[in-house]
Amino acid sequence: MGTNTPAFFCNMQTARTEFSQALKAIAQERGLDPDVILDTIKQAIIAAYKRDAKEQGEDVDTFDYEAVLDPVSGETRVFAWVLPAEDATEKEKAKAKKEKRDVTPPGFGRIAAQTAKQVIHQKIREAEKGAIMEEFEEKVGSLASGLILRFDGPNVRVDLGRTEAILLVEDRIPNERLDLNQRLLNL
């Protein structure tokens, strides 16, 4: 592994589980930090648990939740503790968290699994958008090469690689002739 390889991937080098392989593939394919993906999965698991518990009549609003996820095996545990009052001291909040209990159900239902899947996809899209925004914020004021994809009325959609841009009619050179699949260089 290269010198720029995150420690997470080095630990996963010998991992052979389906979960860790999928996690590694998603992180590399989407150019995301594996920790961001793990946090996203944890949030999705908590959301799925809360939805499932709420459907069974449990009061999920009086508890706080934490998901613990093993990045190698994919094993997950859900813990809950009573939410302390808003004016509680840090000591009282820490004590409440120490009294957490394992509430991991024997198996999430289909609805909970679907909820987790939807939240995971949404969070990954948000993380991808953030990464793309960061990448292109650095390129503001520099030349960008793109390919004309289609025309939306007077505006032009341009493929910039990981994302698309809209070239507004007022930003174009007057009387410039543009063709589909034409390569453009823009500022």
Domain boundaries, the chain: 7-136, 144-186
Report which of residues 2 and 175 the model is more confident about. 175
Question: What confidence score (pLDDT) does residue 11 get?
Answer: 46
Mean pLDDT, the chain, as a whole number?
79
CB count within 10 Å of CB 51 equals 19
Q: Give the pLDDT mean for 111-131.
A: 73
pLDDT in tens, 37-65: 788 878 888 888 888 889 889 888 889 99
Q: Strands of 155-159's sheet, edge to edge?
A: 164-167, 155-159, 144-152, 183-186
Considering the entire predicted model, what is its pTM?
0.56
> What is the 8-class DSSP label of residue 104?
-
CATH 2.60.120 fits 7-136, yes or no: no
Q: Coil, strand or helix: which one is 178?
A: coil
Residues 77 and 61 sit within 8 Å (Cβ to Cβ)? no
**Contacts with 52 (C-beta within 8 Å, 6 or more apart), sequence order:** 105, 108, 109, 111, 112, 115
State the Cα–Cα distance between residues 179 and 159, nearest whole angstrom: 14
